[in-house]
Amino acid sequence: MIKKILIVNRGEIAVRIIKACRELSITSAAVYSEADKDSLHVRLADEAYFIGASPSSESYLNVPKVIDLAKKINASAIHPGYGFLSENAGFIKAVEDAGIIFIGPKSESVSLMGDKTSARQLMARSNVPIVPGTTSPITSIEEGKKTASEIGYPILLKASAGGGGKGMRKVSSESEFEASLSAAQNEAQKAFSNSAVYIEKYIENPKHIEVQIIADHHGNYAHLFERDCSIQRRHQKVIEEAPSTFVDDELRTKLTTAAINAAKACGYYNAGTIEFLVDKHKNYYFLEMNTRLQVEHPVTELITGLDLVKEQIGIAEGRTLSFRQEDIFIHGHALECRIYAEDVDNNFVPSTGHIKLHRRPDGIGIRVDTGIDPFSNVSMFYDPLLTKVITWGRTRDEAIERMKRALGEYKIAGVLTNIAACRWVLKQEQFKDGSFDINFVEDIFMPLIPDKWKSEQAQDYEEVVSILGVLLKAKMSEPNPEANNIQKANKWTGQIYE
Ligand code: MV4
């Protein structure tokens, strides 16, 4: 039985994990850096430990400190959340060697899937369609050119040690091949200390569709259907939904079967995601596997009714999955909007500052997973994700209308956010009819900046200003505690008390 979990993360995902711990009567222990000493996750956790200076490398990524702390406080397990150390095979080994349970997969699954060519080889052997291309790194220009012309241009050069879009290069014809290859190898060497590059056919205007899987230590594997994550900007997802409008029953069966095959092939346990590209002919190709809990897991929770974090903890304790595949159905539709602290009109630069106002949406069909509250400081040290709004509806239209309402209710002051931009996306024809693909933000939204979508922002701005005005007035009418008059009035009701 796990008694105490050390959560090696921050922000909304740390808060999400604390909530699961509380429901399971497990002690939650948070870690925090200098910049996070007043953060929400620190105040909500049962215990909180300072772990180092603000840069992640000195705090949330500091393996020896994390392991020492876990031992010192008698943590039975570590939950890594997403990002940071969650897919670091060396860290997972260190956790296991210290006799602590890692709430996630075994390190071998992580290293195997982290190497893109070895993952492609394994998938090709395991009935999981991969994008046409090579399953080992390119060893010579001539061999590379030959393969590329067999596959047909355009092709993509990808770093073997890459992932998440880093170190990709599109090559449109043979004349560009040689220069592109050496550029790609140089980039790969710089970014991953590994110059290996392989070839994939370039898939035009695909959708990004991923399948959530989950497995226990007893050989039980289940899938929890798909999520469509095509609305993204520069590999940062912005809006996700489940199920996908593009996936019919036939394609769903193919994708989920392939996903289970992929998980079994690497002896996977705990929660994971198999990413696919799906082209307009509904051809689907394995892209990569994410060996962690993902940011967008709540949309799957809302359509299945499961608690993925509680499942993860149960699996780590050695229990079997709490459900059987045949008992899980898609119920309704869920959407997630990621709210980032960023200046949309200024090339999406991160926006920092103190949160002065945080009014969350609520009501039927709305879930908010937040990492901030009115006292939070948003620094430049970490990912700018502030909070996520997830809506559920019986139909996609209902989920969309609820999301528009939720985004309208959400008021954040102190930093700039992409709330209005999210609402703009929800109103576009391509979003409503499901015809969007991974190029939506780049092709449809970006050309409208800076002016065309301003009306969407104006309304939010006016409201925030008026709320701040009311708060300021209330604050100014508060009696001065230094004054001789010791009578204090409740600032909201005017009631007099001592
Ligand atoms: C591709 C592709 C087209 N063809 N591979 C980007 C992230 C990384 N996981 C792989 N990515 C892509 N790989 C082939 N063969 C297009 C992308 C891609 C993308 C994929 C998913 C979601 C958003 C994307 C945005 C740009 C490019």
The Cα 24–Cα 225 span in angstroms is: 26
Helix %, strand %, coil % for the chain, to 5? 35, 25, 35
| Structure token digits, residue 1 | 């039985």
What pLDDT, in 10s, does the model give residues 360-404? 999 999 999 999 998 899 999 999 999 999 999 999 999 999 999
pLDDT at 480 over 60: no
What pLDDT, in 10s, does the model give residues 227-263? 999 999 999 999 999 999 999 999 999 999 999 999 9
pLDDT at 481: 54
pLDDT at 488: 47
CA of 151 to the centre of ligand 1 (A): 17
> Is 292 assigned a catalytic role?
yes
Nearest alpha carbon, ligand 1 atom 14:
202
- Going by pLDDT thresholds of 50, 70 and 90, the confidence category of residue 473 is confident
CA of 433 to the centre of ligand 1 (A): 22
What pLDDT, in 10s, does the model give residues 10-26? 999 999 999 999 999 99
Phi/psi of residue 288, each to 5°? -160, 170
What pLDDT, in 10s, does the model give residues 338-360? 999 999 989 999 999 999 999 99
The type of residue at 456 is: E
Do the strands 333-340 and 236-242 form a parallel or antiparallel pair, or are they unpaired? antiparallel
Do the strands 411-413 and 496-497 form a parallel or antiparallel pair, or are they unpaired? unpaired
pLDDT at 50 over 50: yes
What is the pTM assigned to this prediction?
Answer: 0.93
pLDDT at 492 over 60: no
8 A C-beta contact, residue 387 and residue 339: yes
CA of 165 to the centre of ligand 1 (A): 6
pLDDT at 498: 40
Nearest alpha carbon, ligand 1 atom 12:
165
Among 332, 329, 293, which Cα is nearest to 311's? 293
Counting residues of the chain whose pLDDT is more than 70, the rounded percentage is 95
Atom number of ligand 1 nearest to Cα 234: 25
| Structure token digits, residue 449 | 């900046």
Nearest alpha carbon, ligand 1 atom 11:
165
8 A C-beta contact, residue 230 and residue 259: no
pLDDT at 76: 98
Q: Which of 197, 235, 288 to mutate to test the pocket of ligand 1 (most atoms within 8 A of CB)?
A: 235
Q: Which of 226, 277, 295 to mutate to test the pocket of ligand 1 (most atoms within 8 A of CB)?
A: 277
In angstroms, the Cα distances linking 86 to 91, 181, 262, 293, 420 are 8, 31, 20, 9, 31
pLDDT at 478: 67
Nearest alpha carbon, ligand 1 atom 19:
438
CB atoms within 10 A of CB 150: 10
Counting residues of the chain whose pLDDT is more than 90, the rounded percentage is 87
What pLDDT, in 10s, does the model give residues 201-216? 999 999 999 999 999 9
Do the strands 101-102 and 77-79 form a parallel or antiparallel pair, or are they unpaired? parallel
CA of 384 to the centre of ligand 1 (A): 22
